[in-house]
Structure 1
Amino acid sequence: MPTLPDFRLETYFAQWEFSARYHLTASDAQTLSLAELLALADDDGRQRWESLALGYTETRGLPALREEIAATYEHAGADDVLCFAGAEEALYLAMRTLLEPADHMVVLTPNYQAAETVPLSVCEVTGVALRPEEGWALDVDAIEAALRPNTRMVSVNFPNNPTGAVPSLDSWYRLVRLCDERGITLFSDEVYRGLELSAPSLPQATDLSGTALSLNVMSKAYGLPGLRIGWIACRDRAVLDKLERAKHYTTICNSAPSEVLALIALRAREQVLARNRGIVAENLPVFTEFFARYPELFEFTAPDGGCVCFPRYLGADGVEAMCTDLVEQAGVLLLPSSIYSSALTETPTDRFRVGIGRSDPGEALTVWGEWLEKR
Structure 2
Amino acid sequence: MYIKPFKVEEWINAHEQTAKYNISSTGVVNLTLDGLLELTGTDREAFLGELCSRRLSYGHIGGSPGLLQGVCGLYRTLKPADVVPTHGAAGANHHVFYTLIEPGDRVVSIVPTYQQLYSIPEGYGADVKWLKLRKEDGFQPDLDELERLAAPGTKMICIINPNNPCGSVISNEALRRVVGIARAAGAWLLCDESYRHLTQNGEWIDSVADLYEKGISTSSTSKVFSMPGLRMGWIACRDRDFVASCLSHRDYNLVSCGNLDDTIAALALKHAGTLIERGQRVIRDNLQVVEGWVQSEPHISWVKPQGGSITLLYYDFDMNSYDFCQKLFDRTGVFVSPGDCFEMPGCFRLGYAGNTAEYLKAGLDGISQFMKTLE
Aligned to 2:93: 91
Aligned to 2:323: 321
Q: Unaligned regions of 5+ residues in structure 2, if any?
A: none
Q: Unaligned regions of 5+ residues in structure 1, if any?
A: 342-347
Find out whether 1:227 has 2:220 as its counterpart: no
Aligned to 2:165: 162
| Residue from 153, 170, 175 that aligns with 1:172 | 175
The alignment of Structure 1 onto Structure 2 pairs a total of residues equal to 367
Residues of 1 paired with 2:173 and 2:141: CA distance?
A: 11
Residues of 1 paired with 2:363 and 2:66: CA distance?
A: 41
Report which of the two has the higher share of helix: 2
Residues of 2 paired with 1:27 and 1:46: CA distance?
A: 32
Aligned to 1:110: 112
Aligned to 1:249: 252
RMSD, aligned CA: 1.8
Find out whether 1:272 has 2:275 as its counterpart: yes
Residues 224 and 276 in structure 2, CA contact (< 8 A), matched pair in contact too: yes
Flag the 1:252–1:48 CA change in 2: closer, same or farther, 3 A.
farther
Aligned to 1:345: none
SS in 1 for 2:78: coil
Flag the 1:254–1:42 CA change in 2: closer, same or farther, 3 A.
farther
Flag the 1:55–1:351 CA change in 2: closer, same or farther, 3 A.
same
Shift of 1:364: 1.6
Find out whether 1:187 has 2:190 as its counterpart: yes
Shift of 1:59: 2.8
Aligned to 2:309: 307
Residues 59 and 247 in structure 1, CA contact (< 8 A), matched pair in contact too: no
Residues 131 and 139 in structure 1, CA contact (< 8 A), matched pair in contact too: no
Residues of 1 paired with 2:218 and 2:148: CA distance?
A: 25
SS in 1 for 2:252: coil
Residues of 2 paired with 1:62 and 1:250: CA distance?
A: 19
Equivalent residues in 2 for 1:126-137, closer than 5 Å: 126-137=129-140
Residues of 1 paired with 2:204 and 2:136: CA distance?
A: 23
Flag the 1:321–1:156 CA change in 2: closer, same or farther, 3 A.
same
| Residue from 326, 350, 355 that aligns with 1:354 | 350
Shift of 1:102: 3.3
Percent identity between the two aligned chains: 27
Residues 49 and 257 in structure 1, CA contact (< 8 A), matched pair in contact too: no
Find out whether 1:6 has 2:13 as its counterpart: no
Flag the 1:256–1:42 CA change in 2: closer, same or farther, 3 A.
farther
| Residue from 212, 215, 223 that aligns with 1:212 | 215
Residues 155 and 186 in structure 1, CA contact (< 8 A), matched pair in contact too: yes
The farther-off stretch of 43-52 and 266-275 is 43-52
One-letter amino acid matched to 2:233: G
Residues 218 and 262 in structure 1, CA contact (< 8 A), matched pair in contact too: yes
Shift of 1:19: 0.9
SS in 2 for 1:17: helix
One-letter amino acid matched to 1:3: Y
Residues 152 and 186 in structure 2, CA contact (< 8 A), matched pair in contact too: no
Residues of 1 paired with 2:330 and 2:142: CA distance?
A: 38
One-letter amino acid matched to 1:208: L
Aligned to 2:15: 16
SS in 2 for 1:310: strand
Residues of 2 paired with 1:46 and 1:261: CA distance?
A: 14
Shift of 1:199: 5.1
SS in 2 for 1:151: coil
Flag the 1:48–1:253 CA change in 2: closer, same or farther, 3 A.
farther
Deviations 1:343-375 (A, max 9, x none): xxxxx3112100111223122222332333345
SS in 1 for 2:17: coil
The TM-score normalised by the length of structure 2 is: 0.93
SS in 2 for 1:311: strand
Shift of 1:138: 1.6
